[in-house]
Amino acid sequence: MRDPFSVAEPYLKAERPAGRIVAVEICSTVLQAHVWFALDDSFDAGDGLAVFYSDELQPLATMTAEELKAIYRTKLVFPGARVRE
């Protein structure tokens, strides 16, 4: 079983300040999937999971479950895609 709060192995090999959390992998009950929540804009896990960035939280907070699922599917097809207000 994967640790839901671990940082992806490819990113651990990149240079980053020691002890700084750049992303966490979470299991979304709404999406029924594992996704990354990134605190660093340069984060790229390279593992095929969708990445949600901290600057996206405000617009995402007002979306319905169906809207979130549509955003999730878009992020899977277009890695690095961002939600804007």
Q: Please indicate, yes or no, if residue 1 is contained in any of the structural domains.
A: no
Task: Summarize pLDDT for 42-58 with one digit per residue, the tens.
Answer: 898 889 999 999 999 99
pLDDT of residue 16: 54
Residue 25, sorted as left (phi over 0), alpha (psi -120 to 50) or beta, turns out to be beta
Q: Please indicate, yes or no, if residue 85 is contained in any of the structural domains.
A: no
What's the total number of domains in the chain? Answer: 1
**pLDDT averaged over the chain?**
82
Q: Name, in order, each residue with C-beta under 8 angstroms of 1's C-beta and a sequence gap of 6 or more.
A: none
Mean pLDDT within 19-35: 91
Q: Please indicate, yes or no, if residue 34 is contained in any of the structural domains.
A: yes
Whole domain around residue 30: which residue ranges?
9-77
Q: Please indicate, yes or no, if residue 51 is contained in any of the structural domains.
A: yes
Q: Which pTM does this prediction carry?
A: 0.74
Task: Summarize pLDDT for 2-20 with one digit per residue, the tens.
Answer: 444 444 444 444 455 567 8
Mean pLDDT within 73-80: 93
